[in-house]
Chain A
Amino acid sequence: MSEFTTWDILRNLLLSARWTILLSLTAFVCGGVCGMIVLMVRTGRASWLRSVAAGYIELFQGTPLLMQLFLAFFGLSLAGFDVPPWLAAALALTLWTGAFLAEIWRGCVESISKGQWEASSSLAMGYLQQMRYVILPQALRIAVPPTVGFSVQVIKGTALTSIIGFIELSKASTMLTNATFRPFTVYAFVALIYFALCWPLSKASQALERKLNVAHHGH
């Protein structure tokens, strides 16, 4: 068995961190699209569609992400679909992210005063036009800080995908520990890398919150 230097450990962790970042980005972008669609349905006019969206959100918020990953990976395999770990991971994280973002954004949409809906209705705008031109431009401004804040949860959520065999930062760290018997070094590095990814986002979220509060009059 070859010897691992500390540099080897760090190098391999950093290489695997690329997959953590890629998975996070995929989940965040696809989850954002998914969340936007769910948001439109959730706040839309058709009541049965609203219930479907509410059910989806409750299902994904009310079950552990780990179970969702298991179901996406093992469940789909049992159903006859041969899903590679990366696809199952991306799928489960996307649906999970979509549910949370839809709910965060719904709060922002509902914080826009009823008068904005009524004024735009009285100008003969339809629902999608009201959303696109009146409500969302105001709501998304409020939504930026909590959305950036939630991206931290997505990054940390990717760690769970190691369970289904997707080799990202956490899975790589377990493998490296088994190979080197230096758990403390390995996990210390891993924690540092996660921190380096998440901390700037947390800070950015706080800064944006301050800025949007102060710059209430900036346009």
Chain B
Amino acid sequence: MSLITVTDVRKRFGDNEVLNGIDLEVEAGEVIAIIGKSGSGKSTLLRCINGLETINGGSITVAGAQLLADDVHLRALRLKVGMIFQQFNLFPHLTAGRNVMLSPMIVKKLPEADAEPLAREMLERVGLAQKFDAYPDQLSGGQQQRVAIARALAMQPSALLCDEITSALDPELVNEVLAVVGELAKEGMTLLMVTHEMRFAREVCDRVVFMHLGRVHEIGPPEEVFAHPRTPELQQFLGMVQ
């Protein structure tokens, strides 16, 4: 069975149909890039998968946890799937280490004595072991985003959703974040990422999803999608970004 199953998901904002019946199956360990023009529904799809947006139709299941509107189901789902945001969204009043420790301690009731080594291990994994006591505003954008990744990893999710995680970064900081994501991919983490980094998508991803007008317009391995786009919309899109 697939790790993430998205079936005929529909989402409206007022009269605006943002998702028009999305079907997508993601296997455990798969790395998937979602590309498409702005307004095509890429970010909305990710936000629906961990319940930040309510859906108007269809269903979403992650590792057996179904997306339902009540708190109990939402929290069960969010324990399975972590999310990284474009704007990092670190908690500014807490140190990097505390950012990582907070949720394991209060959600999973992990004692502080266990949460601290866990946080150090996660920060080590993103190459920031020495920044345990730094506050977010003392870190560069790339470092903040890596702390955000460590924070999500500390909850030991089955999958990670990455929503344009390098788009708010200065160009020279993009690579350090992509390197961390690349490592995660190698280690077998299931990743679903909305990205504009086409080179990265081509090198790291197993499949690429091209979204257009709220639908999965084309899907396939990167060689195929990038080298032989079948639809004029994808050809046009690739022409614009490459």
What residues make up the interface of A, taking CB atoms closer than 8 Å to B? 45, 113, 115-116, 118-127, 129, 133-134, 137-138, 141, 217, 219
Cα–Cα, bound, A119→B85 (Å): 8
A119 B78 Cβ-Cβ under 8 A: no
**Cβ-based interface call for B221 (8 A):** no
Residue of B nearest to A116 (CB): B89
Given the complex, which residues of B lie within 8 Å of A122, measured CB to CB? Answer: 50, 52, 78, 82-83, 85, 152
A-contacting residues, B127-161, CB 8 Å: 135, 137, 148, 151-152, 155
Given the complex, which residues of A lie within 8 Å of B89, measured CB to CB? Answer: 113, 115-116, 118-119
B107 A219 Cβ-Cβ under 8 A: no
Closest 5 pairs (CB-CB, A-B): A119-B89, A123-B103, A115-B89, A122-B83, A124-B78
| Contact residue among B52, B90, B103 (Cβ-Cβ distance under 8 Å from A124) | B103
With contact pairs A118-B52, A118-B85, A121-B52 given, residues A126 and B75 touching in the complex (Cβ less than 8 Å): yes
Residue of B nearest to A45 (CB): B71
Given the complex, which residues of B lie within 8 Å of A120, measured CB to CB? Answer: 91, 103
Given the complex, which residues of B lie within 8 Å of A137, measured CB to CB? Answer: 93
Question: Smallest Cβ distance from B115 to chain A, in angstroms?
Answer: 13
Cα–Cα, bound, A119→B155 (Å): 13
What residues make up the interface of B, taking CB atoms closer than 8 Å to A? 50-52, 71, 74-75, 78-79, 82-83, 85, 87, 89-93, 102-103, 106-107, 135, 137, 148, 151-152, 155
A125 B107 Cβ-Cβ under 8 A: yes
Given the complex, which residues of B lie within 8 Å of A116, measured CB to CB? Answer: 89, 91
Given the complex, which residues of A lie within 8 Å of B152, measured CB to CB? Answer: 122-123
Given the complex, which residues of A lie within 8 Å of B82, measured CB to CB? Answer: 122-123
Can you give 23 A-B contacts (C-beta < 8 A)?
A116-B91, A118-B52, A119-B83, A119-B85, A120-B103, A121-B74, A122-B50, A122-B83, A123-B82, A123-B102, A123-B151, A123-B152, A124-B75, A124-B78, A126-B75, A127-B71, A129-B106, A133-B106, A134-B102, A138-B91, A138-B92, A217-B137, A219-B93
Given the complex, which residues of B lie within 8 Å of A124, measured CB to CB? Answer: 75, 78-79, 103, 107, 155
Residue of A nearest to B104 (CB): A123
Residue of A nearest to B138 (CB): A217
Given the complex, which residues of A lie within 8 Å of B50, measured CB to CB? Answer: 122
Question: Smallest Cβ distance from A114 to chain B, in angstroms?
Answer: 9
Given the complex, which residues of B lie within 8 Å of A115, measured CB to CB? Answer: 85, 87, 89
Q: Is the interface of A mostly helix, strand, loop or mixed?
A: helix
With contact pairs A124-B79, A125-B103, A217-B137 given, residues A119 and B93 touching in the complex (Cβ less than 8 Å): no
Cα–Cα, bound, A120→B151 (Å): 10
Given the complex, which residues of A lie within 8 Å of B93, measured CB to CB? Answer: 137-138, 141, 219
Question: Smallest Cβ distance from B237 to chain A, in angstroms?
Answer: 28
Most A CB within 10 A of own CB, among B71, B93, B137, B151: B93
A123 B52 Cβ-Cβ under 8 A: no
Cα–Cα, bound, A126→B103 (Å): 10
Residue of B nearest to A118 (CB): B52
A129 B83 Cβ-Cβ under 8 A: no
Given the complex, which residues of A lie within 8 Å of B71, measured CB to CB? Answer: 45, 126-127
With contact pairs A138-B93, A219-B93 given, residues A123 and B78 touching in the complex (Cβ less than 8 Å): yes
A129 B107 Cβ-Cβ under 8 A: yes
Question: Smallest Cβ distance from B100 to chain A, in angstroms?
Answer: 10
B135 A123 Cβ-Cβ under 8 A: no
A123 B155 Cβ-Cβ under 8 A: yes
Cα–Cα, bound, A38→B91 (Å): 25
A133 B102 Cβ-Cβ under 8 A: yes
Given the complex, which residues of B lie within 8 Å of A133, measured CB to CB? Answer: 102, 106
Given the complex, which residues of B lie within 8 Å of A134, measured CB to CB? Answer: 91, 102
Residue of A nearest to B155 (CB): A123
Cα–Cα, bound, A197→B38 (Å): 58
Cα–Cα, bound, A73→B161 (Å): 59
Question: Smallest Cβ distance from B165 to chain A, in angstroms?
Answer: 13
Cα–Cα, bound, A138→B136 (Å): 14
Question: Smallest Cβ distance from A142 to chain B, in angstroms?
Answer: 11
